[in-house]
A and B are shown apart, each in its own frame.
Chain A
Amino acid sequence: MLMNFDKLGAWRWILSGICALMALFLLLPILFIVALSFGNSRWLIFPPPGWTLKWYGDLFADPRWLQAAFTSAKIAAIVMVLSVAIGLLASLALVRGRFRGRAVLRGFFLTPMVLPVVIIAVALYAAFLRLGLNGTLVGFVIAHLIVALPFAIITISGALETFDPAIEDAAILCGANPWEARFRVTLPAISHGLFSAAIFSFLISWDEVVLAIFMASPTLQTLPVKVWTTLRQDLTPVIAAASTLLVLLTVVLMIAAALIRKGKSR
Chain B
Amino acid sequence: MTSPYLHINGIRKTFGDVVATDHVELEIGEGEFMTFLGPSGSGKSTTLYILAGFQDPTAGDIRLRGKSILQTPSHKRNIGMVFQRYTLFPHLSVGENVAFPLRVRRAPQAEIAAKVKRALSLVRLDGFEERMPANMSGGQQQRVALARALVYDPPVLLMDEPLSALDKKLREEIQYEIRRIHQQTGVTILYVTHDQEEALRLSDRIAVFNRGRIEQVGTGPELYASPATHFVADFIGDSAFLTGELAEVKDGRATLRFNDGTHLADVPMHGAGARGGKAELMLRPERIDLSDAAGPQGASLPVTVEDVTFLGNNSAVTARTGWGDPLYIRLNFGHPMMGSVGRGDKLHVRWQPQDAHVFPKA
Residues of A at the B interface (CB closer than 8 Å) are 164, 166-167, 169-178, 180-181, 184-185, 188-189, 191
Contacts and interface: CB of A to CB of B under 8 A. Distances in A.
B81 A170 contact: yes
B54 interface: yes
B17 to A, nearest CB: 17
A175 B78 contact: yes
Nearest to A178: B75
A173 B74 contact: yes
Which of A169, A175, A176, A188 has the most chain B CB atoms inside 10 A of its CB? A175
Interface stretch (B84-92, B287-295, B318-326): B84-92
Contacts of A191: 91
A191 B90 CA distance: 11
Contacts of A178: 75
19 contacts: A164-B86, A166-B83, A166-B85, A166-B87, A169-B52, A169-B54, A169-B74, A170-B81, A172-B75, A173-B75, A173-B79, A173-B81, A173-B149, A174-B104, A176-B104, A184-B104, A185-B89, A188-B92, A189-B89
Chain A facing B: main interface SS: helix
A130 to B, nearest CB: 47
A174 B88 CA distance: 11
A167 B75 contact: no
Interface string B234-274: 00000000000000000000000000000000000000000
A189 B89 CA distance: 7
Given A169-B87, A173-B149, A174-B149, 16 more contacts: A166-B85, A169-B54, A170-B81, A170-B145, A170-B148, A173-B74, A174-B75, A174-B104, A175-B101, A175-B105, A176-B100, A180-B75, A180-B104, A189-B89, A189-B90, A191-B91
A177 B75 CA distance: 6
Contact of A164 (B77, B87, B92): B87
Contacts of A164: 85-87
Which of A171, A172, A178, A191 has the most chain B CB atoms inside 10 A of its CB? A172
A40 B52 CA distance: 74
B80 interface: yes
B351 interface: no
Nearest to A163: B90
Contacts of B91: 188-189, 191
B106 to A, nearest CB: 10
Contacts of B80: 173
Given A189-B90, A191-B91, A172 B100 contact: no
B39 to A, nearest CB: 22
B132 to A, nearest CB: 11
Interface string B45-89: 000000010100000000000000000011111111101011111
B87 A170 contact: yes
Nearest to A192: B91
B359 interface: no
B83 A169 contact: yes
Contacts of B54: 169
B100 A171 contact: yes
Contacts of A189: 89-91
A194 B171 CA distance: 37
B89 A172 contact: no
Contacts of B149: 173-174
- Give me the 9 closest cross-chain CB pairs, A-B, nearest first: A170-B87, A174-B101, A188-B91, A175-B104, A167-B87, A176-B104, A173-B81, A172-B75, A172-B74
Contact of A173 (B52, B89, B105): B52
B191 to A, nearest CB: 16
A164 B75 CA distance: 18
Contacts of A185: 89
A169 B77 CA distance: 13
Contacts of A180: 75, 104
A184 B104 CA distance: 10
A73 B90 CA distance: 34
A167 B78 contact: no
Nearest to B85: A166
A126 B149 CA distance: 59
B209 interface: no
A246 B104 CA distance: 45
Contact of A175 (B52, B75, B86): B75
A170 B92 CA distance: 14
Given A175-B152, A180-B104, A189-B89, A170 B75 contact: no
Which of A167, A169, A174 has the most chain B CB atoms inside 10 A of its CB? A174
A222 to B, nearest CB: 36
A174 B52 contact: no
Contacts of A172: 74-75
A164 B86 CA distance: 9
A170 B83 contact: yes
Contacts of B89: 167, 170-171, 185, 188-189
A176 B148 CA distance: 13
A174 B76 CA distance: 9
Nearest to A164: B85
Which of B78, B83, B105 has the most chain A CB atoms inside 10 A of its CB? B83
A184 B100 CA distance: 10
Nearest to B84: A166
Contacts of B92: 188
A9 B83 CA distance: 51
Contacts of B81: 170, 173
A188 B83 CA distance: 21
A176 B75 contact: yes
A33 B91 CA distance: 43
A180 B149 CA distance: 18
